[in-house]
Copies of this chain bind each other. A is one copy, B any other.
């Protein structure tokens, strides 16, 4: 859905109304242009911001020479619409709830970014506001990834907040992920004379037994507890109903706390599966929560809630790869993301706006 006239975003309206306006500009991944244009236009009206653009990613920053620079980022795209646009509301006052695609993931966060950007001309920390495209699709398309590759100086800073939905809590860092294939050899034979072969699938039982017995760590990193996991995510073997199979492959996914490097993770898996042929097929590092940084500590203090660990892999890792500690913080229950009934209490949007503004002005 595109229109010839770009919608205008009025950043003077309240954050919930702005969230609705942003959600109602459909921007499924690959179709962010219209919303990106509107965001760029609105930001260019704020004289205290330098505005940069790469594709459908917009970067706007203050240049006040503050001692610290913080980055506040959010993506403009959503998963496909499921008859849940335009947005609608239920209830009123403190019970007001906003329904529709993007209300959770993550246009509430984007609205808060824009509201605070528009109302904080002299933040106590220099701020870089990042709005990017293609977060909900393959990682190589990711707009934040493109910025970190092509314009790392645009997204540089001392600490970053990614406004993904966390229900208003700070979720620090993220776990790393590694995938391996364990190949179990055998000797083929006709199944009528099974004793002349060696069954690779039967032997795979030893791998599965180790997986069953594996005691996943709970690891405290900078005050947050990460819960690791080691899961078979695939198994295949066998070529015909009368052949003892000479090959079985078990695919395993390891999610590891950010105190481990990718190299540590591989060494650990080779230890767990000693005696088996292990090939690493995919890996991405975790990200430290960075909560020992002064800007992070100040941020957590404003929120007044205990931070917690982030389990999934998120774009905070892209900041981490640049050496920038990063956390997730935003309105909306993350378990409602991508659901057809995605909805957010208005109060979470207002609270998020209050926190960001207080952090940047205190």
**When the two chains form their complex, are residues A231 and B244 in contact, meaning their CB atoms are under 8 A apart?**
yes
- Known contacts A201-B250, A202-B211, A208-B208; A191/B237 CB under 8 A: no
Instruction: State how many angstroms separate the Cβ of A314 from the closest Cβ of chain B.
Output: 10
Near B by CB (< 8 A), chain A positions 22-60 give: none
> What B residues does A231 contact at CB under 8 A?
191, 194, 199, 202, 244
Residues 179-216 of A contacting B (Cβ, < 8 Å): 179, 190-195, 199, 201-205, 207-209, 211-212, 216
Number of this chain's copies in the complex: 2
Q: Are A312 and B235 in contact (CB under 8 A)?
A: no
CB contacts (< 8 Å) of A207 on chain B: these are 205
User: Distance in Å from the Cβ of A3 to the closest Cβ of chain B?
Assistant: 36
Quote the shortest CB–CB distance from A171 to chain B (angstroms): 12
Q: A233-B242, A234-B237, A253-B241 are in contact. Are A175 and B201 (CB under 8 A)?
A: no
Map CB proximity to B onto A235-251 as digits: 1 under 8 Å, 0 otherwise.
11110111111001011
Given A204-B235, A211-B199, is A229 in contact with B194 using a C-beta cutoff of 8 Å?
A: yes
**Interface contact A235-B238, CB-CB below 8 Å:** yes
A107 at the interface (CB under 8 A from B): no
Least distance between A5 CB and chain B CB atoms (Å): 41
Decide if A219 is an interface residue (CB 8 Å cutoff).
Answer: no
- With A and B bound together, what is the CA distance between A205 and B253 in angstroms? 17
Check if A282 sits within 8 Å of B229, measured CB to CB.
Answer: no
- A241 with B232: CB separation less than 8 A: no
Question: Which B residue sits closest to A254, measured CB to CB?
Answer: B191
> Which residue from B205, B234, B236 sits with its C-beta under 8 Å from A212?
B205
* A-B pairs with beta carbons under 8 Å apart, 23 shown: A190-B312, A191-B233, A193-B229, A194-B231, A195-B216, A199-B211, A199-B231, A199-B232, A201-B208, A201-B211, A202-B211, A202-B212, A202-B231, A204-B208, A204-B235, A205-B205, A205-B211, A205-B212, A233-B240, A233-B244, A234-B237, A241-B251, A241-B253
Extra contacts besides A205-B205, A234-B238 (4): CB < 8 Å = A201-B250, A208-B208, A234-B237, A235-B235
Interface residues of A (CB under 8 A from B): 175, 177, 179, 190-195, 199, 201-205, 207-209, 211-212, 216, 227, 229-238, 240-245, 248, 250-251, 253, 255, 282, 311-313
